[in-house]
Structure 1
Amino acid sequence: MPTIMNQKGYRFFFYSNDHLPKHIHVEKAEKTAKFNLEPVELVTSKKFSASELREIRILIQNNNDLLINSWNEYFN
Structure 2
Amino acid sequence: MPTIHRQQGWKVQIFANDHAPPHVHLVSAGHKLVVEIASGAVLRGTDASVRALEEGRSWVRANCSLLLEEWKRIVERDDE
Give me the TM-score of the superposition, normalised by structure 2. Answer: 0.79
Decide whether the 8 Å contact of 2:15 with 2:74 is kept in 1: no
Counterpart residue number, 1:60 = 60
Q: Please tell me whether Structure 1 or Structure 2 has the larger radius of gyration of its CA atoms.
A: 2
How far off its partner does 1:6 sit? 0.7
Identify the structure with the greater strand proportion: 1
How far off its partner does 1:56 sit? 2.2
Counterpart residue number, 1:33 = 33
- Is there any run of 5+ residues in structure 1 with no aligned partner, and where? none
Point out which structure has higher relative CO (alpha carbons under 8 A, 6+ apart). 2
Identify the structure with the greater helix proportion: 2
Q: RMSD of aligned C-alpha atoms?
A: 1.6
How far off its partner does 1:17 sit? 2.5
Report the identity percentage. Answer: 27
Say how many residue pairs are matched.
75
